[in-house]
């Protein structure tokens, strides 16, 4: 079996620059807030969250939740379910959901609705990537890294059946499917 590396789609340098910009914008927007509560969506967002949290110049806290869609990785995906909940109560807190990628929009719509019920002081979302062409549920992304076409991307936390998560850049699966 050959171990072909995915083709570079967004370079490490471009990601670093964009994450820095997002960090500055978010820090400015939340400058008056005591603590910004970052909620990472496992597992895809773990690297983005690590970098974004360090790009912030305001006090922050970090928590995680995990979701899965029913069915397999093969489309069509089913509804979303919560696998692991937050450890902290978000009532009265300023919450920023940190997502790797918004594809159909189902996951983000589900999470926004779920967390809104818990009475946060504010609730927004930051996603590194968005594929507007595959949207099925309309969602607002308050802070977005990059819009991309409807291709399967890997790296920087994103996987292809658990492969390539640790790539430092965002790549596209090679045409052979490896
Ligand atoms: P949505 O509910 O369809 O918006 O799906 C969002 C989730 O699907 C993301 O958080 C990812 O875990 C996964 N996903 C969607 N597109 C990709 C991709 O191109 N590469 C890796 N994961 C993806
Ligand atoms: Mg995700």
Chain center to CA of 152: 15
Neighbours of 106 (CB within 10 A): 19
Q: Which of 101, 147, 155 to mutate to test the pocket of ligand 1 (most atoms within 8 A of CB)?
A: 101
| Cβ contacts of 136 within 8 Å, gap of 6 or more | 104, 105, 106
CA of 46 to the centre of ligand 2 (A): 9
Residue 5: CB atoms within 10 Å: 13
Instruction: Look up residue 132 and give its DSSP letter.
Output: G
Scan for tokens 């305001």, then name that residue: 58
Residue-wise pLDDT for 97-153, tens only, equals: 999 999 999 999 999 999 999 999 999 999 999 999 999 999 999 999 999 999 999
Number of Cβ within 10 Å of residue 131's Cβ equals 18
CB atoms within 10 A of CB 94: 20
The two tokens of residue 28 are 């400015």
Q: Which of 34, 51, 103, 150 is catalytic?
A: 103
Q: How high is the pLDDT of residue 178?
A: 47
Enter the pTM of the model.
Answer: 0.93
């Amino acid at each position: 079996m050959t171990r072909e590396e995915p083709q570079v789609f967004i370079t490490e340098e471009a990601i670093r620059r964009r994450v820095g910009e997002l960090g500055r914008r978010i820090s400015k927007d939340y400058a008056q807030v005591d603590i910004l509560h970052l909620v990472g969506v496992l597992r895809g967002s773990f690297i983005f969250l690590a970098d974004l949290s360090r790009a912030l110049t305001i006090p922050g806290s970090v928590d995680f939740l995990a979701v899965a869609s029913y069915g397999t990785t093969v489309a069509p995906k089913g509804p979303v379910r919560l696998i692991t909940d937050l450890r902290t109560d978000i009532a009265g807190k300023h919450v920023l959901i940190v997502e790797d990628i918004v594809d159909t929009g189902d996951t983000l719509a589900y999470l926004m609705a779920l967390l809104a019920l818990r009475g946060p002081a504010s609730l927004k979302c930051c996603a590194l990537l968005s594929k507007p062409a595959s949207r099925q549920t309309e969602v607002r992304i308050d802070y977005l890294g990059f819009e991309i076409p409807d291709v399967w991307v890997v790296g920087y936390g994103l996987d292809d059946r658990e492969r390539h998560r640790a790539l430092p850049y965002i790549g596209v699966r090679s045409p052979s499917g490896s």
